[in-house]
Amino acid sequence: MVSFLADALVELKVPPALVPQCEAALTGVIFLSLIGTSESRLNQAEKSRIHVLWGEHDVPGIFSLIQGKYAPSEWQGYLMGIVEPIVQDYLKSVL
């Protein structure tokens, strides 16, 4: 997910010098937002699986499980819909 976030930050025209700081500050918030907003697409077994993966610190596994719930054509738009407002708010409020 972190590589996606770096790409998204560049796409959102975050100055290159700020990309590492934004990644460090926002990875957890964005990741939890992805889980929360995808909950309606997950069945009970998948929700339980996320809890197991979370306990194992398997972020790529959780990211992959969530990504599998979206058509490839909607995945990029979904991610940017989550990431962009968080990044914009961070840039306005913190930096």
Domain residue limits at 54: 2-93
Judge if pTM exceeds 0.85.
Answer: no
The span from the CA of 81 to the CA of 77, in Å, is: 6
Give the pLDDT of residue 10: 86
The span from the CA of 45 to the CA of 74, in Å, is: 23
- H/E element, 23: helix 19-38
Structure tokens at 1: 């997910």
Cα–Cα distances in angstroms (integers) from residue 54 to residues 4, 12, 15, 45, 61, in the given order:
19, 28, 31, 14, 9
Give the pLDDT of residue 53: 93
Say how many domains are in the chain: 1
pLDDT tens by residue, 2-50: 577 888 888 888 898 988 888 888 888 888 898 899 999 999 999 999 9
